[in-house]
Amino acid sequence: MTEVHPQTDELIITDDQFVRVFRLNRPERRNALSESLKMQLITALLDADEDSGVRVVVITGTGPAAFCAGADLKDMHQNDQAGVRFRTPMNRIDRNVFEVVYEMKKPTIAALNGSAVAGGFELAIACNLRVTHAAAVFGLPETKIGMGANFGSVLLPRLIGVTQALEMLLTGEYISAERALELGLMNRLVPAEDVLKQAISLAHTIAKNAPISVRRVKAVALRGLDLSVASALRQDPGMNPYLSEDRQEGIAARLEKRSPVWKNR
């Protein structure tokens, strides 16, 4: 694994072949999302989405305690005391970090090294796939502290259905990793020490596939959630893999019993 971008105290970015790994690095604050960390992460994610050398993104946290505890409440309290207005997705014109992750063209995997709550859970479910371990817990406790969980309130019902989502949202209670797996929120439950390794392995499996095809099936699957079947089948989310050089290479490689060499065109 090689370091790529200039590192900061709060965000560490490394490359593992075609996989870019982002590690939230505020273990003393349970990897809470400070304003500076959010802006660094947004910028780095947008760069990765346009980098032809990156095919899959993995997001993880530092330390065994937490993947991410959400917003930094200490920062938020200090802003309240200073009279700084808190901006929600309903009163801001720019995208927040959860939207940026969810709308990425490339596949995203959350390697949940520890618990993910509040905005940390929203960051996790913004990713396409999730790997965790049995000791982690998850939840949206915003109703317990007078907040709103706007992104989670929109996305969670789409992932697990309205009834189960509302129980989590209204009670603010946490669920276990086993329950999250039952609900379909997790893809893999592995030993704690293997979470990142398994997430990167899954990323490599995806990265071996044709990049145009991967981006296409992700876009069609996610955009199709808001469309009728007929409309979803006729949507145009970008380059058609059937018209690509990679489609020809994929067929030739299969017939010649060799690994394909993707050109991303």
When pLDDT is averaged across residues 116-140 and rounded to a whole number, the result is 98
- Secondary structure of 44-59 as H, E, C letters: HHHHHHHCCCCCEEEE
CA distances from 203 to 37, 59, 131, 176, 255 (A): 24, 11, 11, 24, 25
Residue 86 has pLDDT above 70, yes or no: no
Task: Judge whether 49 and 91 are in contact, CB under 8 Å.
Answer: no
What pLDDT score does 237 carry? Answer: 62
Architecture of the domain delimited by 2-207: Alpha-Beta Complex (3.90)
Bridge partners of 115?
66
Q: Active-site residue 122, yes or no?
A: yes
**pLDDT tens per residue, range 32-43:** 999 999 999 999
What residue spans define the domains of the chain?
2-207, 211-255
Bridge partners of 33?
71
Catalytic residue (one of 50, 99, 122, 178): 122
Nearest to 244 by CA among 226, 221, 263: 263
**pLDDT tens per residue, range 197-236:** 999 999 999 999 999 999 999 999 998 888 777 776 777 6
Catalytic residue (one of 10, 99, 103, 142): 142
- Percentage with pLDDT > 70 across the chain: 86
Residue 77 has pLDDT above 50, yes or no: no
Task: Judge whether 54 and 108 are in contact, CB under 8 Å.
Answer: no
**pLDDT tens per residue, range 153-190:** 999 999 999 999 999 999 999 999 999 999 999 999 99
Higher-pLDDT residue of 231, 105 = 105
Q: Active-site residue 3, yes or no?
A: no
Q: Report helix, strand or coil for 125.
A: helix
